[in-house]
Chains A and B, each alone.
Chain A
Amino acid sequence: MKRLLLISVMVFLSSCAHYTVVKTGKQTIGSMTVMPSHEWNRVPAGASLGGLPTWTADGVSLDTVTFFADVKDGNTLIKPEKKDDQYPVFQANMLPTELVDVFESTLAKAYQAKISRSGKLTPLMVDNRPGFQYTFEFVTPDELTRKGYIAGVIKDDHLQMIFYQATKLYYFDHQFQNVRNMVKSMTIN
């Protein structure tokens, strides 16, 4: 009960106090740099997936962009909340098909999401390197069908990846082109 109260207070405080504006222009997340063409809202760590750097345009329950920056070989994509939570591990020699497996399994565990089987995986040049992009649908416990998009690349044994998700109805398409432009602008130092 005390823990629940503490979490509620933290969520309340974070929801009120720590959203900040992400300006247009160059933004650096770890080794990753992107150029958003419009303003976003930076989500406080307590309200984002695994505490990862996350932005939203219309609110976290409607759309988010999450940055998986500098994921090292042998690490999970997000830090497990409990010690015995088994998340899949990223390996630097993985091919895009395997990265999608790791991502989907992470999402299924972190969001209790059910992944649609109609994902589309295609090659994509990211910062002049062969990377990948993947679009898919999934359902979250709030009973909403969402669309997701990931784009990333492995450089120097580190995974750099952007994950955009939003409700299938209206919100995904609303920001999708902006996110794709941001992915095109992605550079890795």
Chain B
Amino acid sequence: MFSQTVKCTVLVLLVAFAAAGPAYCKTFERLQPEITPNYQPDISGTEAGLWMVFNKAEESLKTSPNRLKDPELDHYLKTVICKLSEKFCPEIRVYVMRMPYFNANMAPNGVMQVWTGLLLRVNNEAQLATVLGHEMGHYLRRHSLKSFEDLKHKSVLYTFLSLGIEGALAAGGINPDLGYAAMDMNRVLTYASLFAFSRNQEREADKYGIQLLNNTQLSLEQAPVIWGNLIAEEKSAQHEKKHRSIFFATHPAPKERLANLKEYVQELSEEDGSSGHDNLNAGKYWKYVGPHLPMLLEDEINLNQFGRTLYVLRNLLDNNIEPGIVRYYMGELYRRRNKKGDIQLAIQNYLQAIDNNNCPAEAHRSLGLLYYKNGDRASARKEFQKYLDHKPDASDHEMIQFYISSLSGDSK
């Protein structure tokens, strides 16, 4: 068995021979944690103050109405964290928050938030572990503290420069147009510097995340897939949102992340000589996330961002996740968008949903609504009745009865 050094040397020699020029074989340079297990900050320092603030915030998180309270899902997320780092996992507390956007974050005291929009966009445990590992990277490298100190230093410099410019303006020692331009420039440079610092931390967290993922038996190849999906989702939503979100100001561009992650995966695979870590654990992931799928999709659809949501739904279908539920929501999306041809697509999706297990009874209600409006009274009545048969205690049963009776009245 060749060692990594021998393999690299051979590769360098081969490439150098072929190209008659310099060649490099990159090895994965491991990052080290900047804290020890059960780390507690020095009580007299800034970090202790930050921890105090976040400890208080954690108390609010515990009882937040936005928290998705599911002990089994929490426990599952914790087991994935423990796979990534057995040593540090006891001190990480994870909270799932009902936020329909792709995000997770990590506080300096070990509190991790995972948003439901992220759970909807992750296909399996390997992808989940990539994100959780990334967040742990922030924690282990004390990024919150460094960001806070960076912000503090740059705020002081910003204030100092602003006062200088304002002083010069007040004294008439500077052309006002030039002064205001200098103020704007000062502000822009400060923001740019803060965002650049944040992006560097994200790059480091990406690398640490992959390093932690390599401790597990989960597939490294899944790490770049998340960013590939995010790029595709952004493309599908381009006509809906002209401005890029703050996520892209503070994070490296997904294309860069995709390239970096692929490079790390390559380096680690060569190092281990193994592509043996190929577990996805998709079934396990959906066992815990699946029960929340209707709520996650309901929140997603309410955002009224059809291109983006359509991409998410297609991704779920491609991965054969709950087609009965996903087809129903695809029908909902087309019904609500209601562009030319959408109603027919909605009907097709509802019918496909009904052919699958776990289809929500609401598919019959939605079919009823569409038939009602198309003037197909008999089919509308039939579908409304099926909805009530499946869900006799539905919270809108009086309204559905009203529809049925008005349809009966019309047909007399």
Please report the number of residue pairs spanning A and B whose Cβ atoms sit closer than 8 angstroms. Answer: 73
Docked pose: A123 CA to B373 CA in angstroms = 18
- Give a binary string over A84-112; 1 marks a CB under 8 Å from any B CB, 0 the rest: 10111001010111100100110011000
Among A93, A115, A123, which residue has the most Cβ atoms of chain B within 10 A? A123
Find out whether the CB atom of B395 lies under 8 angstroms from the CB atom of A119. Answer: yes
| Chain A, residue nearest B365 (CB) | A97
Identify which of B59-67, B104-112, B145-153, B228-236 touches chain A. B59-67
Among the 9-residue stretches B21-29, B167-175, B273-281, B397-405, the one with 4 or more Cβ atoms under 8 Å from chain A is B397-405
CB pair B304–A86 under 8 Å, yes or no, is yes
CA distance A96 to B395 in the complex (A): 13
Beyond A118-B395, A119-B395, whether A144 also contacts B302 by CB under 8 A is no
Residue of A nearest to B240 (CB): A86
Chain B residue contacts of A130, Cβ below 8 A: 402, 406
* Contact residues of B: prevailing secondary structure: helix
State the majority secondary structure of interface residues on A.
mixed
B243 at the interface (CB under 8 A from A): yes
A84 touches B302 (CB 8 A): no
Determine if A132 is an interface residue (Cβ-Cβ < 8 Å): yes
Q: Is B372 an interface residue (CB 8 A)?
A: yes
Contacts of A97 in B (CB 8 A): 365, 369, 396, 399
Interface check B303, CB cutoff 8 A: yes
Which B residues are CB-close (under 8 A) to A14? none
Chain A residues with CB under 8 Å of B406's CB are: 130
In the assembled complex, the CB of A110 is this many whole angstroms from the nearest CB of chain B, namely 11
Contact present for B399 and A84 (CB under 8 Å): no
CB distance from B391 to the nearest CB of A (A): 13
Closest chain A residue to B295 by CB distance? Answer: A117
Is A3 interfacial (CB 8 A cutoff)?
Answer: no
Q: Which residue of B lies closest to A82 (CB)?
A: B243
Bound-state CA distance A115–B294 (Å) is 13
Q: Give the docked Cα–Cα distance between A119 and B362 (Å).
A: 14
| A48-107 with Cβ < 8 A to chain B | 83-84, 86-88, 91, 93, 95-98, 101, 104-105
Asked whether, in the complex, the Cβ of A120 is within 8 Å of the Cβ of B373, the reply is no
Contact present for A139 and B336 (CB under 8 Å): no
Which residues of B approach A to under 8 Å, CB–CB? 60, 64-66, 98, 187, 240-243, 295, 298-299, 301-306, 336, 338, 365, 369, 372-373, 395-396, 398-399, 402-403, 406
Using a CB–CB cutoff of 8 Å, the interface residues on chain A facing chain B are 1, 83-84, 86-88, 91, 93, 95-98, 101, 104-105, 108-109, 114-115, 117-123, 130, 132, 139, 143-145
A97-B365, A130-B402 are known; give 16 further A-B pairs, CB within 8 A. A1-B187, A84-B241, A86-B306, A87-B304, A88-B336, A95-B403, A105-B303, A109-B302, A109-B304, A114-B98, A114-B299, A120-B395, A130-B406, A132-B399, A143-B60, A144-B65
In the complex, 27 of the A-B residue pairs with CB atoms within 8 angstroms, ordered by the A residue number, are A84-B240, A84-B241, A86-B306, A87-B304, A88-B336, A95-B372, A95-B373, A97-B369, A98-B369, A101-B336, A105-B303, A108-B299, A108-B303, A115-B298, A115-B302, A119-B396, A121-B395, A121-B396, A121-B398, A121-B399, A122-B396, A122-B398, A122-B399, A123-B399, A123-B402, A144-B65, A145-B65
